[in-house]
């Protein structure tokens, strides 16, 4: 039996779950809160059931200190951000991305800022750190707030400072496919007392999940503890996709973070940096091995950052090659999934003209992107196999074009 490797995952052992349960029974939720405060060096820290709920609560809070209504987000990002913005009574405004950094195009942010701009919400996409110093300089000149989206970059640092800590307020996600996971969950951090008091009120009003929801969370954590390991993942491969969200959401539910998850979070966070280091090593290996290869683009890395790669992104010059390599890599037993096939403005009607694409880089990016797993269950041998598949496939494609130029 060929063992399968999941596309994303964080090892959660059964001892971790048991220890987390004991912590949750004997200590309050603020144990994990204290750990996050120490890590981020922030005064205020709050938990929610998801990163999207965290973003939504932040937006509701900053509405209390400004009458402006526009929120700038990348044109290629998690589509649920749009739902949170609209649910908060605000308007999403998109900014194109850079094909060099794979993050929001900082040079074009000024194009999208108006008198009614409330905040910029930059994201560290795939764990790749965006230049926060440049973002903050723009925001300060225009008196804008910065809501830092670090949902995919927990562990990443810039100048030895964690992502999520540069803006007026930042947020993380503990979803099952993130760098650090308690199955679900979100975290908000800030030093601003004026924002924190509104966030605290909102978080305090979140309903507690019912008994059935708590049992469901517990059962899914045990299921993911099985699914995170190749033997069990292989045996139950037809069942594990049901644990993932695969459809475009129309809404989301907000409720309190459970003490059980907080206990697991506190237990796991003690070992988180071992996992972060593996993601870093795997991403840097892929960056080094794939650099300079014709036919693909890989991201330029921030010179003063240590990126903890959520996944490693590759852009194919020929968009038709993406599906080819997806199949070849999946056939080895390393399961990878396609990311969003469309940018935000092609998922939701935001009033943009789709015939004259206002965000061509985001469209180009979405049609050519393939994500390579960097999680701790991968290793250099498996990553080398992927590198070999990509190099050999691109060389064969180039040779075919040289032999049959009429097909170009």
Q: 54 - beta bridge partners? A: none
For the question of residue 141 being annotated catalytic, the response is no
Q: Which of 178, 259, 322, 382 is catalytic?
A: 178
The answer to whether residues 144 and 110 touch, using CB atoms and an 8 Å cutoff, is no
SS (H, E, C) the chain: CCCCECCCCCCCCHHHHHHHHHHHHHCCCHHHHHHHHHHHCCCEEEEECCHHHHHHHHHHHHHHHCCCCEEEEECCCCCHHHHHHHHCCCEEEEECECCCCCCECHHHHHHHCCCCEEEECCECHHHCCCCHHHHHHHHHHCCCEEEEECCCCCCCEECCEECCCCCCEEEEECCCCCCCCCCCCEEEEECCHHHHHHHHHHHHCCCCCCHHHHHHHHHHHHHHHHHCCHHHHHHCCCCHHHHCCCCCCCCCCCCCCCHHHHHHHHHHHCCHHHHHHHHHHHHHHHHHHHCCCCCEECCCCCCCEECCCCEEEEEECCCCHHHHHHHHHHHCCECCCCCCCCCHHHCCCCCCCCCCCCCHHHHHHHHHEEEEECCCCCCHHHHHHHHHHHHHHHHHHHHHHHHCHHHC
Pairing state between β 70-74 and 117-120: parallel
List active site positions. Answer: 178
């Amino acid at each position: 039996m060929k063992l399968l490797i999941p596309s994303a995952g964080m090892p959660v052992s059964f001892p971790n779950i048991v220890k987390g349960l004991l912590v949750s029974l004997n200590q309050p939720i603020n144990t994990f809160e204290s750990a996050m405060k120490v890590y981020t060096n922030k005064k205020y820290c709050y938990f929610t059931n998801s990163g999207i709920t965290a973003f939504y609560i932040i937006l509701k809070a900053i509405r209390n200190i400004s009458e402006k209504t526009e929120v700038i987000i990348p044109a290629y990002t998690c589509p649920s951000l749009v739902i949170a913005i609209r649910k908060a009574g605000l308007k999403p405004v998109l900014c194109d991305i850079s094909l060099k950094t794979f993050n929001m195009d900082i040079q074009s942010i000024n194009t999208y800022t108006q008198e009614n701009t409330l905040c910029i919400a930059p994201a560290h996409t795939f764990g790749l750190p965006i230049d926060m110093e440049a973002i903050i300089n723009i925001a300060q000149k225009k008196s804008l707030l910065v809501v830092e989206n670090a949902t995919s970059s927990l562990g990443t640092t810039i100048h030895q400072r964690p992502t999520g800590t540069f803006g007026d307020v930042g947020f993380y996600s503990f979803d099952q496919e993130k760098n650090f996971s308690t199955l679900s969950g979100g975290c908000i951090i800030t030093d601003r007392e004026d924002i924190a008091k509104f966030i605290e009120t909102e978080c305090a009003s979140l309903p507690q999940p019912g008994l059935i929801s708590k049992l469901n969370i517990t059962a899914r954590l045990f299921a993911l503890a099985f699914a995170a390991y190749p033997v069990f993942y292989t045996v139950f491969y037809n069942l594990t996709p049901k644990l993932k969200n695969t459809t475009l959401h129309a809404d989301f539910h907000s409720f309190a973070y459970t003490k059980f998850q907080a206990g697991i979070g506190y237990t796991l966070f003690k070992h988180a940096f071992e996992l972060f280091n593996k993601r870093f090593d795997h991403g840097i290996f892929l960056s080094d091995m794939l650099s300079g290869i014709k036919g693909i683009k890989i991201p330029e890395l921030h010179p003063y950052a240590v990126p903890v790669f959520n996944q490693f992104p590759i852009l194919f010059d020929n968009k038709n090659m993406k599906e080819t390599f997806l199949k070849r890599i999946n056939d080895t037993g390393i399961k990878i999934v396609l990311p969003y096939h469309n940018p935000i403005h092609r998922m939701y009607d935001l009033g943009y003209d789709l015939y004259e694409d206002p965000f061509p880089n985001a469209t180009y990016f979405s049609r050519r992107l393939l994500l390579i797993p960097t999680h701790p269950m991968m290793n250099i041998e498996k990553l080398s196999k992927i590198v070999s598949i990509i190099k050999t496939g691109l060389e064969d494609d180039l040779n075919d074009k040289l032999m049959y130029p009429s097909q170009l």
